[in-house]
Amino acid sequence: MDYDDDIWNMLKNLKNDGEDSGGANAANAATKSSSSSIGSVDISKIDINSNSCGCGCSEVISEDHMQICKNCSAIVSKMIENTAEWRFYGNDDNRDGDPSRCGLPTNNLLPKSSIGSMIGCGYKDNIDIRRIRMFQMWNSMPYDERTLWNVFDKMTGNTINNGIPQKVIDDAKVLYKKASEKKISRGDNKEGLIASCIYHACLINKIPKSSKDIAAMFNISHVTLNKGNSRFQTLLQINVSSPEPMDFIAQYGNNLNMAIKDIEKCKELVRLIEDNDIMNDNSPTSSAAGILYYYATVKNLGYTKKTFAKACNVSEVTIIKCYKIINNHHQFIISHKSNLFEISEAQPTAPTE
């Protein structure tokens, strides 16, 4: 029994010694820390608008959105984040849902629909929450903006897969919104106006697209598009440069898989024809198709009329008509561009098919 008591007394003495030494060390450390940090900094001298510390040191480091003094480790200032708190990182996030506290930026074309909040919906939500979300979506967009949104969606769907850049689509949306604010359009007038906005946006951005191409994108007739162009000019009165044959040479040449050097030579031929007023009564698309066909015939590139008609979306009769006008000035052309085009003096003969 005496042996057991001695062991317990030894353990008790060791425990008491450890507590005394630990408390003394902690007290000494606290005293040193307070004397080295708090004692050396005058809080009244700290300027919240300055990067210098109250201890007189101007060297600070940035860590966790805080400015910390390198000398005394005091926090000089804190940076408050005032940007959007997304809190969601797409596929790299391990969360099941989107915990973002902010939505998409405001759309200037649909301002009323952009200021409302959105009720989130997850796969664990009951039918009541889903019904509330559906009612909220129905009431978040006014009727006029819902109509605009449907038009914008139609513009994007009909043009994005037909080689129309997003910049042109965005410009067309702005043009349609301005036109719709002037006067409401319905039926064929509305369809023609939508296509006309795309057509004029292409002209503004120097992207050559014929009226036939635009009409085919929206599945409307050429007459409907022309009426839409007239309505567009009546409502907005925007002056845009008319397309020229030069604008369609590269497009039609690429459709025919012509070599780049041949396309460049056709552009030189266009300049010669325009400078001498050889073709003034033909549309730009017809003139471009006729010039390409004339060049291909002289160079024996092996294209047929049917191939040109399909690539340029111009009828064979129109192509031959333009070709004959240019061919009547064949001697004049070779006298000015014989070296550039390597054109023989023999009169070219159009293929029969």
- pLDDT for residue 35 is more than 80: no
Of residues 225, 108, 278, the one with CA closest to residue 178: 108
Kindly give the residue spans of alpha helices, DSSP state H, lying in the chain.
2-33, 111-114, 127-140, 143-159, 166-182, 187-204, 211-217, 222-236, 245-255, 260-275, 284-299, 305-312, 316-327, 330-341
| Rounded mean pLDDT, 349-353 | 53
pLDDT tens digits for range 195-216: 999 999 998 888 888 888 899 8
For residues 290 and 279, the answer to whether their CB atoms sit within 8 Å is: yes
Phi/psi for 60 (5° steps) reads: -125, 155
Of residues 248, 156, 162, 235, the one with CA closest to residue 203: 248
pLDDT tens digits for range 332-348: 888 776 655 564 444 55
| Rounded mean pLDDT, 28-48 | 44
HSE (side-chain half, CA atoms, 13 Å) at 260: 0
Whole-number pLDDT of residue 176? 92
More confident residue, 174 or 144: 174
For residues 319 and 296, the answer to whether their CB atoms sit within 8 Å is: no
Determine the 3-state secondary structure of 46 from DSSP: coil
Give CA–CA dist 231/190, Å, rounded: 10
pLDDT tens digits for range 309-326: 888 888 889 888 888 888
Which domains are assigned to the chain? 105-141 (no CATH), 143-236 (1.10.472.10), 245-341 (1.10.472.10)
